[in-house]
Structure 1
Amino acid sequence: MYNLTIAHLYPEQMNIYGDRGNIITLRQRCAWREITTTLIPVMPGSSIDWQSVDLAFFGGGQDSGQALIAADFVEHQAEPLRRAAETGMVLLAICGGYQLLGHYFLTHTGEKLPGIGLLDVHTVGSTQRLIGNLLIEANWGTGRQTLVGFENHSGGTFLGKGVKPLGKVLAGHGNNGKDGSEGAVWQNVIGCYMHGSLLPKNPHFADHLLELALQRRYGSSTILSPLDDQLELAAHSTMVERLQR
């Protein structure tokens, strides 16, 4: 029997627009396959054995929530989390969590929140909000696939040479509303702006993350058994069709 250890970074401060649903989805899709999961909440000041973590999730929050945990994240989690990511730990970060994985977030008021530099990105705030449903074309595994979500951010994120975008914006704004990119990927670390929550709307992406985590823990031949995602994919397709009109 397989077991996955999942870490949830700052669940009280960084949980906006249903982001906690991503944890629920990951655990439920494991449970349907009789894969057990151990959930570790990462609170301010927590001491975590990141090498034992298979998959981590870092949700979004308002600027005030980010400010509350930014220093703790850099001081207590940055280096051990970085070492785990370098050995293939899977990490999904959304919006505020995504921004704090970068070099810094410069708010529209001029406050500079430090990131940990795990992703080669930086974010610059403005008074304009990028808000609405988001549709992208991403490329992983078997080829191009669509992802849908909801974005609401005033920060524009710009990618450096050390990352590649998660996908190309088909509808919505994405990273910054200018260059047509959404998200950033380095190794098994993925940042994006897709709330909603993301994984219930995109079961194929949830399984992609789970397979990466299982393959790191149990070997490259580990493949998930299929589930009946007829309803989930029908909802996904409805949103794709609506946004492509």
Structure 2
Amino acid sequence: MVDAGKELVIVSLYPREMNMYGDQGNVIALQRRIRLQGYQPKTVVVNPGDPLPADADIFLGGGGQDSGQLKVAADLQLKSEVLRGLADDGVPMLMICGLYQLFGHRFLTVGGDDMRGIGVLDVETRGGDTRMIGNIVLESDEFGEIIGYENHSGNTVLGDGCEPFGRVKQGAGNNPDDGHEGARFKNVIGTYLHGALLPKNPAVSDFLIATAAKRKYGEFEPREIDDSVIAAARQSARNRPR
């Protein structure tokens, strides 16, 4: 049963420009998971020019083409101070692909565009000539096995101010060399995993929900949820050739 008095506010960042490879499915999956955990989800869409809501509990963002990123990068700069403050304060955020790059320090595209990021994550990205594409499996001490799909040519390198989201078991990850995927700073996760990520990785959804609920209500009591269908989907994705 959902407690109508306990609401969690999801902010969907730039879904008009940044919804590549079904990333908006993360919003749908998180809404459903929030209800299963007994809370009422409310979703606020923020596109360029829109203000950030004052009552945000969770931020989600996706990937997009470079042209879309250019529009978003300019608007993000106007919101950078607020977003950095919320990240420092422990607000949970999940940023996929293009917004993962823009939550770093900069993204230098193959075409020569130098997009300034907002520096929530201590990462830098340079566009490369090789596209890293296919099913990907990570291992994480916190989330266990993480399953997704990558499709990017950005080569991202982590600085000392963050940790990887996971270690690559199958796939490329941030770049072809270091065996890491994504980045993590406090409760902010950046990753190249599409798919969408959350429907196949309920442990990540529950992390976002638990963190948000504890910040807002002081506690979180997880419910027992039947994830057998998700387990079957994960097994199917795991067995697909890259």
Whether TM exceeds 0.5 here: the answer is yes
Partner of 1:5: 9
Q: Report the counterpart of residue 232 of structure 2 in structure 1.
A: 234
Instruction: Provide the residue aligned with 2:166 in structure 1.
Output: 167
Answer yes or no: is the 8 Å Cα contact 2:121–2:185 preserved in 1. yes
What is the CA–CA distance in structure 1 between the aligned matches of 2:194 and 2:63, rounded to whole Å?
Answer: 8
Assess if the C-alpha contact under 8 Å between 2:140 and 2:167 holds in 1: yes
In structure 2, distance between residues paired with 1:206 and 1:177: 27
Partner of 1:184: 183
Spell out structure 1 runs of 4+ moving beyond 3 A: 241-244
- Measured on the aligned residues, the alpha-carbon RMSD in Å equals 1.4
- Counterpart of 2:45? 41
Deviations 1:186-229 (A, max 9, x none): 0000000000100001122211211111111112x412212111
Give the Å deviation of 1:237. 2.4
**Structure 2 SS opposite 1:17:** helix
Counterpart of 2:93? 91
Q: TM-score, normalised by structure 2?
A: 0.94
Q: Offset of 1:33 from its aligned partner?
A: 3.6
Residue of structure 2 equivalent to 1:28 = 32
Aligned to 1:14: 18
Pairwise CA distance, 1:26: 0.5
The whole-number CA distance in structure 1 between the counterparts of 2:221 and 2:77 is: 35
1:2-48 Cα shifts (integer Å, max 9, x gaps): 21011000010000101000000000112234411111111111122
- Counterparts of 1:80 and 1:133, CA distance in 2: 35
Q: For each residue in 1:130-165, what CA deviation from the matched residue of structure 2 results, as whole angstroms up to 9, or x when unmatched?
A: 11111000121xxx6101111111111000000000
| Inter-partner Cα distance in structure 1 for 2:240 and 2:13 | 33
Segment of structure 1 superposing worse, 235-244 or 40-49: 235-244
Give the match's secondary structure for 1:79: helix
Q: Is the 8 A contact 1:135 1:243 kept in 2?
A: no
Matches within 5 A, 1:214-229: 214-219=213-218, 221-229=219-227
User: Secondary structure of 1:83's match?
Assistant: helix
Provide the secondary structure at the position in 1 that maps to 2:48.
coil
CA distance in structure 2 between the aligned counterparts of 1:208 and 1:117, rounded to whole angstroms: 23
Q: Which residue of 1 aligns with 2:204?
A: 205
